[in-house]
Chain A
């Protein structure tokens, strides 16, 4: 209890009676309505505790009379959003990617839908926005293994690459080194030839390397290394390469080639989503 209530000489007002090492405080009582506002907030808080989830228990929490949960609220929002999207997605499912691309109302929807689906399904291998990494094709450049038209992209996404799907994209490059088709020296010559190809320095046509290339590689990769999309053979004369552009990587790939695998998404994603993905991948910059 305050004991030393006294009148402050200067202001003529009472002190609170508390004394902190000689420091005293003037008693400036708050108006009562201020206190009532505090009580009102307490009542408000109690109402909130009764109506909404509030008190944490050991394993659970009080549910509140309104039965509100953020998860249920989110579910409702998601359902609302899906209901709003449904007519557009139905339309996307019915039209071909080429038709969707011409529709200024549908294309933005497909691209946004494609981007979100790409982020959760394709990014782990192909990188953010299809930026690619060694062994996983960059989808934003203009080099395609199996084709960059809308139809080709849709086909690849739907059936995958070496996926086991009956219509999958499939091809195999021989193990030139491991199966002793070429000697180590020959492989080195071919590697030099390929390296010169993409560096733009025209290799001599009558060299042993040129002969080796045309005998062993040109059937799939093309006489000038331009690639062949029917069999997914990459263009060797292009400036970008799937596994890397240095000589060691080229030698390793000729000796014992690696073969990428991509799942068939037709079994996992619905038609509208596949078409949206197709348009999104097409829009990344390499679309043909």
Chain B
């Protein structure tokens, strides 16, 4: 029997290829606190994703009772207790920006925990890997079977695995569309063939992407497709906690035998357990690298080995570069610096954003007013010398019933208002009926005696008669000014 380790090594030919075969990763199962935590996060994420559309929320008659619904067809976003209109898209922008800053903050404190635990790519890949492990066995069994030519055992296991993957992917794609259409309704419609083409198309699309990305692409998504690993290094510094190999303690590494002394050598026994459990197939002992998603499964794997060897745990641990450097120089690791300029900056931006968003949310009115002055003609001179401006006034009524609103104008002496084509006499106050749950447009003619100023600041004030709520919008009233006064 030849000992492979002692066989003469050939110097490999230089590899000049610009494309290479994908190195298939066969992550080994691992047990421990990190893995348990990762499972917990996985189940929470999946439960939220699959179950959220089924949560009901009573909004009264004529409105959907789904708690979370982005109703694209009717241009409404429903959240529990809130209804957003397309013109309030800035709330979504605010949430997105806050999420990004929050991601920066978390990354600068504890590294890429998003990648390791809650990114959908990680969650679904983990889930798919679990099915793969149940059907095809652990790392060694899978590697052996894949190296074998096709036989019955290999065939049925592969077919079963891909079948289950497709099933999960379909469930995922199906749950996705439930965020856009009423979940119970679309479920019935889907299976009775009455759902819209879009529903079938997007279900199919997200089934396909889930199956391909979580089943086939896996770590390739993180390494080659995702932009985040490429620039997340900008958020990391010496104080950031990441999964790291304690270089000073582990090296020099080497195999060990029972009874051998630990003097003069490192704790790493080069068992490669950390490499075998890694879902992206890297060696954490090479230091921080692009492919590392910071999931910490290698921590569990290494602790397992250290326990068996009766050595101290945490050879691979969450640690930062500053503390490691101190240790390797024989100094005591310094204090933790959770609050440093970088994290304070992210935190303050996050807080400012949160305060601004909550204030805007709290001050959100159920009625809305937008005033657009006609630009042609700028103004009209009437037979008696008075000046008239026209405005397109859009009145938003978010209530489910028609509301009577009063429109007043402030800042213009002797002004009177009339809705064009209403046939009513100009009056100081307009009474408008705003249609339910929509925006109603009125062309409002404002006339006033010619004034010395060519441009006067005016304020339109809209008041809901029932609720007493008011909103106002500033505009201007233009005229010929003093030069052309009567």
Query: How many B residues touch A, CB cutoff 8 Å?
Result: 28
CA of A35 to CA of B17, assembled, Å: 12
Please determine whether A141 and B383 come into contact, CB atoms closer than 8 angstroms: yes
Answer whether A283 and B16 are a contact pair too, CB < 8 Å, given A129-B374, A141-B382, A239-B383.
no
Partner of A239, one of B15, B382, B443: B382
Contact-residue size bin, chain A (C-beta under 8 Å from the other chain) = 35 or more
Docked complex: B16-44 residues within 8 A CB-CB of A:
16-22
A240 interfacial by beta-carbon distance below 8 Å:
yes
CA of A32 to CA of B20, assembled, Å: 6
User: What residues of A have a CB within 8 angstroms of the CB of B374 in the complex?
Assistant: 129
A29 interfacial by beta-carbon distance below 8 Å:
yes
User: What residues of A have a CB within 8 angstroms of the CB of B445 in the complex?
Assistant: 285
User: What residues of A have a CB within 8 angstroms of the CB of B220 in the complex?
Assistant: 31, 33
B224 interfacial by beta-carbon distance below 8 Å:
yes
Please determine whether B383 and A32 come into contact, CB atoms closer than 8 angstroms: no
Please determine whether B16 and A5 come into contact, CB atoms closer than 8 angstroms: yes
User: What residues of A have a CB within 8 angstroms of the CB of B19 in the complex?
Assistant: 29-32, 34-35
Question: Which chain A residue has the least Cβ–Cβ distance from B389?
Answer: A285
User: What residues of B have a CB within 8 angstroms of the CB of A285 in the complex?
Assistant: 380, 388, 390, 420, 445
Docked complex: A267-288 residues within 8 A CB-CB of B:
279, 282-285, 287
Please determine whether A29 and B17 come into contact, CB atoms closer than 8 angstroms: yes
B14 interfacial by beta-carbon distance below 8 Å:
yes
Question: Which chain B residue has the least Cβ–Cβ distance from A12?
Answer: B286
CA of A17 to CA of B224, assembled, Å: 23
Please determine whether A239 and B486 come into contact, CB atoms closer than 8 angstroms: yes
Partner of B486, one of A27, A200, A237: A200
Question: Which chain A residue has the least Cβ–Cβ distance from B447?
Answer: A285
User: What residues of B have a CB within 8 angstroms of the CB of A16 in the complex?
Assistant: 16
A24 interfacial by beta-carbon distance below 8 Å:
no
B6 interfacial by beta-carbon distance below 8 Å:
no
User: What residues of A have a CB within 8 angstroms of the CB of B382 in the complex?
Assistant: 141-143, 239-240
Please determine whether B20 and A31 come into contact, CB atoms closer than 8 angstroms: yes
A199 interfacial by beta-carbon distance below 8 Å:
yes
CA of A16 to CA of B19, assembled, Å: 12
CA of A132 to CA of B379, assembled, Å: 11
Partner of B18, one of A5, A29, A107: A29
Answer whether A127 and B486 are a contact pair too, CB < 8 Å, given A14-B15, A287-B421.
no
- Determine chain B's interface SS by DSSP, over half rule: loop
Docked complex: B259-275 residues within 8 A CB-CB of A:
none
B340 interfacial by beta-carbon distance below 8 Å:
no
CA of A287 to CA of B388, assembled, Å: 14
A229 interfacial by beta-carbon distance below 8 Å:
no
B61 interfacial by beta-carbon distance below 8 Å:
no
Please determine whether B18 and A141 come into contact, CB atoms closer than 8 angstroms: no
Q: How many Å from the CB of A14 to the closest CB on chain B?
A: 6
CA of A145 to CA of B390, assembled, Å: 22
Please determine whether B383 and A238 come into contact, CB atoms closer than 8 angstroms: yes
A16, A127, A131, most chain B CB atoms within 10 A: A131
Q: How many Å from the CB of A42 to the closest CB on chain B?
A: 15
A171 interfacial by beta-carbon distance below 8 Å:
no
Question: Which chain B residue has the least Cβ–Cβ distance from A4?
Answer: B14
Answer whether A30 and B420 are a contact pair too, CB < 8 Å, given A14-B14, A200-B486.
no
Please determine whether B377 and A129 come into contact, CB atoms closer than 8 angstroms: yes
CA of A132 to CA of B377, assembled, Å: 8
Please determine whether B15 and A29 come into contact, CB atoms closer than 8 angstroms: yes
Partner of B16, one of A17, A31, A127, A239: A17
Please determine whether B380 and A140 come into contact, CB atoms closer than 8 angstroms: yes
A128 interfacial by beta-carbon distance below 8 Å:
yes
B153 interfacial by beta-carbon distance below 8 Å:
no
CA of A101 to CA of B383, assembled, Å: 25
Please determine whether A33 and B22 come into contact, CB atoms closer than 8 angstroms: yes
Please determine whether A30 and B20 come into contact, CB atoms closer than 8 angstroms: yes
Q: How many Å from the CB of B394 to the closest CB on chain A?
A: 14
Docked complex: B222-280 residues within 8 A CB-CB of A:
224
Please determine whether B22 and A239 come into contact, CB atoms closer than 8 angstroms: no
Q: How many Å from the CB of B449 to the closest CB on chain A?
A: 11
Question: Which chain A residue has the least Cβ–Cβ distance from B15?
Answer: A14
Question: B339-375 toward A: CB 8 Å interface, digit per residue (1/0)?
Answer: 0000000000000000000000000000000000010
Partner of B443, one of A27, A142, A283: A283
User: What residues of B have a CB within 8 angstroms of the CB of A239 in the complex?
Assistant: 381-385, 486
B73 interfacial by beta-carbon distance below 8 Å:
no
CA of A25 to CA of B313, assembled, Å: 39
| Residues on B facing A (Cβ under 8 Å) | 14-22, 220, 224, 374, 376-378, 380-385, 388, 390, 420-421, 443, 445, 486
Q: Lowest 10 A-B CB distances belong to which pairs?
A: A131-B377, A29-B20, A128-B376, A238-B383, A239-B385, A5-B14, A31-B22, A129-B376, A140-B380, A141-B380
- What are 6 A-B contacts defined by CB distance under 8 Å? A5-B14, A107-B421, A129-B374, A138-B380, A239-B382, A239-B486
Sample of 14 more A-B contacts, CB < 8 Å, known A31-B19, A141-B388: A14-B16, A17-B14, A27-B16, A34-B224, A128-B376, A141-B380, A141-B382, A143-B383, A199-B486, A239-B384, A240-B381, A240-B383, A285-B388, A287-B421
